[in-house]
Amino acid sequence: MPNGSMDTATFAQNFTRSVFISANIEVNGITFPSVMFPSAYTITADPGVALNITGAGITNSSGLTQNFVTGVSASNSGAVYFRNSATAGTSTIFTNNGGTGPHVGGSTVFLDSATAGNGTFINNGGMAYGIDGGGTSFLSNATAANGTFTSNGATVSGAYGGALRFFDNSRAGSATLIANGGTNGGGGGSIVFGDPKSSGDTSTGDTARVEVFGNGSLDISGHDLPGLTLGSIEGNGFVFLRANNLTVGSNNLSTTFSGTIQDGGYGGSLSKIGKGKLTLNFPSTYTGGTTINKGTLVVKNTIDSATGTGAMQVNLGTLEGVGKIEGAVTVGTGVGTTSRANLLGGNSNTSPGTLTINNSVTFQSDSTYKCVLNRSSRVASKVTALGVTINNAQFAFTQVGTGTLAVGTVFRVIDNITSNLAISGRFRNLSNGLVLTSNDGTKFKVNYTGGTGNDLTLKVVP
């Protein structure tokens, strides 16, 4: 039995494919050689048992996905620890089961400079469990006499979910990290970077794909400042920031997040990088602001604010959608006139709609307001804001669909809902009174004092 820091456990071809570890064990690594298996192995750390991988880590050359499980019981749970520079390897799945009683679920922990490699880590939620109610028993010849006896009903509590934890200088690599919700009130699975009780947690998210569902969560609140970079986030669970910044997009995937990002009022923030598109479908409450440094951020929430209460800065990339934003929005940095930052009312270049900003919006010189008109539906991009400033920015007008527009039709493309402030400044290629002519000959006259007197409108003219 391999059990030491220099030992390697090798799982070759065998018809016994379920392995249960019943006592604490340490190995340098685990190897699945390149041979034909009847099927993949499942290696389970029994409740109360730890599997410690402290050297090379897992080498999987079998061509099959190998499975690791942390078992749970009514009173305990198993764990897997990666230490030093150990790796979880490739084609590996780790399942951390949620608890079934008043204890934590199974866990996988990365310490030192260990890495999750290309593994998949599934953290299941806990289950609700019952606590017996009170009662009085009569034995032998005992009698109740004239007493009054009340037996209170049982209570139900929720066990903790399985957990994946990254401490020290450990890395998430290109792994897929999943946190599922609990059952009937059980705690959700969790993905945790950093320990709030200690400093020196500089673990990295690298290009990991994070998926959180139900009351499952991603928690970076204990990570060292300034924060963490991840490949992507998706699902409908929770993200906890505290004072940290979460940077998303390093794997260039396009994902949708329908959960809540929160910081408890400590100034946590969100940044978007990478070529992909991040869609936010639900309101969040973080307070430290949002920055787009590359790619596209889409807001589709119907209430409150998809990007918390802080300001929005678009340095490079695109902000678009038909949702609501609470903080002030600045598009561009104001350096030069080469367009790098864009704002679009609508869900894409072919799907215009209204983006609501319950604050001011500023278009800097290196930004473009992309306005799309769908001639079939007669809907144009519109941005609603509380005060509009245009600092020599660019205006881009495109049309999709077909259809004839009646003379006199007015499209309000910027709705400046302040009652007494006009739009400050002009788009450098869109002067007041200018007539735009489309490819089919339709003419649109520009008016910066249209609508209620302080809106930007395009009116179809003869």
Q: What is the pLDDT of residues 158-192, one digit of tens each?
A: 688 999 999 999 999 999 999 999 988 889 999 99
Task: Please report, rounded to a whole number, the percentage of residues in the chain having pLDDT higher than 90.
Answer: 83
Task: Provide the pLDDT confidence category of residue 86 given band limits of 50, 70 and 90.
Answer: very high
Does the pLDDT value for residue 150 go beyond 90?
no
Read off the amino acid at residue 363: F
pTM of the model: 0.91
Q: Are 272 and 313 in contact (CB under 8 A)?
A: no
Residues 330/362, Cβ–Cβ less than 8 Å: yes
SS3 content of the chain, % helix, strand, coil (to 5): 0, 45, 55
Instruction: Round to whole Å and give the CA distance between 460 and 438.
Output: 11
Q: Are 386 and 417 in contact (CB under 8 A)?
A: yes
Query: 209 CB contacts (<8 Å, ≥6 apart)?
Result: 175, 176, 177, 231, 232, 234, 251, 253, 255
Predicted pLDDT of residue 99: 86
**CA–CA dist 334, 77 (Å, integer):** 55
- What confidence tens digit (pLDDT) does each residue in 89-112 have? 999 999 999 987 776 799 999 999
Write the CA distances from 58 to 27, 47, 62, 117, integer angstroms: 10, 22, 12, 10
Tell me, what's the pLDDT at 53? 98
CA distance 190 to 205: 15
99-108, 214-223, 240-249: least confidently modelled range: 99-108
- pLDDT of 7-45, one tens digit each? 999 998 888 889 999 999 999 999 999 876 678 999 999
Contact status, residue 385 vs residue 357, Cβ threshold 8 Å? yes
Of 285, 290, 235, residue with least CA distance to 265: 285
Q: How many CA atoms, within 13 angstroms, populate the side-chain half-sphere of residue 57?
A: 20
